[in-house]
Amino acid sequence: MSRTSAGMALMIPCVLLLLNSGAVFVYQLENEIVGGSVYFYESIPVQDNPGITWNFKNATVAQSFPGGTPGCVGLYVGRCELYVNGTLRLDRLTSEDEGNYSMTAQYPNSTIIKSSLYGLRVYNPVSDVKLTSNISGVVWPGLNSVSLTCSARGTKVNYSWSLQGVPLPQDSPYHFTENNTVLTMSPVTANDNGTFTCTAYSWINNETSNGINLTLGSGISAVTLTSNTSGSYIWVGEESVSLHCSSDGSNVTFLWKLNGGSLPQGPQYHISSQGDSPPHSNLLISPISKTDAGPFTCQASNPLGNETSNALNLSLAFCPTATALCQTSGSGLGGGEIAGIVLGTVCGIFILEVIVYFVLKAKRKTPSSTVYENAHVPEQHTYERTMPGTQGKSSQESNYEELTHKDKSIYSIMESASEKY
């Protein structure tokens, strides 16, 4: 028996009718596929040598005369065969072969006529199963609806649906329409993450479609703002700063803010193109200005919401205005060199002020020196201390300090000399 036996579930049982005229009528339905073969089985006794004729749509397919050789007729020559017991086989079936076939057997010298009627349904097997979606980009849970459509070639095709290989029940939140060929999710939820497939099937065969994964959008999270300064001071007008903002989420866009408001327009601000792995945006400030102390923030957003990063302040350093040092800093000195000059200048001024203070204080505490003119004292007992800076001056311009000699007798000699003169 041909593959028709695979379709026994669709086969209508034979119906045998005994007519008052003595004719025997049989009806049977056969199912086959395009390109296949079908047998219409008969069991007419050969010894009865009946005349047999097969007809289809008022045309003769095959026939056998009493005592003759069975054969096919017309367009069926070469693709059918009539057996001596009345069985007919058709090959290379097409959709044009679908319909009812009748067989009549007339027995010689008898009024008995056997008639059989066979129904033939020619099916195209399931093939070319495809699954498509009405949305190709990101699908936002809770916001978007999606329709998946399953198509297939074949005859009397049925459809079933699966998510991650698990069949979707008909009473699920999903909506099935168009004879189960369309699956609608309205709206999409976070549970719709996975691979959708559809299976087209008939009594002949089944075939599963390609898989479709919905690209579900995710909300904003983990927005972080960092800089390349590492907490060090930044010299205004001379140095640059790079800020980096990153976030988790889908289709993220970034908005930069300064002091709680939108980042002002200015030639020193350069925003680089955004990336997706992970989403990020860079802000280059070159050169830095006094108004860029912060706080800086960045806001990440997508259709599911937005989130603002941590605030970031910059430590700025700049010179007082209208000073010779600031004019020098513009000639190419680095921040460290300028800081060293400033510190050295301040320290030098401080040390100079301390020296002046102690000199003035020492002069106020030192008693007036007594000047002796030792005109009559022997030279070996005259003590003179010339103050620094007075060498080479005349004796009238010399400054002297009072000293005490270790030999006390010198004072008696000096006193006697004074009285004598």
SS3 label, residue 343: helix
Instruction: Tell me the fold of 127-216.
Output: Immunoglobulin-like (2.60.40)
Residue whose structure tokens are 């009812």: 100
Backbone angles phi, psi at 332, to 5 degrees: 115, 0
Name which of 129, 138, 134, 197 is nearest 157 in CA terms: 129
Q: Does the predicted model carry a pTM greater than 0.75?
A: no
Per-residue pLDDT tens digits of the chain, which is 421 residues long: 344 434 433 433 444 444 444 445 567 999 999 999 999 999 888 777 789 999 999 899 999 988 788 999 999 999 999 999 999 999 999 999 999 999 999 887 777 788 999 999 999 999 999 999 998 889 999 999 999 999 999 999 999 999 999 999 877 789 999 999 999 999 999 989 999 999 999 988 999 999 999 999 999 999 999 998 876 788 888 888 999 999 999 889 999 999 999 999 889 999 987 667 788 999 999 999 988 888 999 999 999 999 999 999 988 888 765 444 443 333 344 455 555 555 565 566 767 766 766 767 666 655 544 444 444 444 444 444 444 444 444 444 434 334 454 555 555 555 554 454 4
Q: Which one of 3.10.580.10, 2.60.40.10, 3.30.1130.10, 2.30.110.10 gives the CATH number of domain 3-123?
A: 2.60.40.10
The superfamily (CATH) of domain 221-317 is: Immunoglobulins (2.60.40.10)
Q: What is the domain partition of the chain in residue ranges? A: 3-123, 127-216, 221-317, 324-328+334-364, 379-420
Residue 255, class by beta-carbon neighbours within 10 Å (0-12 exposed, 13-18 middle, 19+ buried)? Answer: middle
Alpha-carbon gap, residue 11 to 34, rounded angstroms: 17
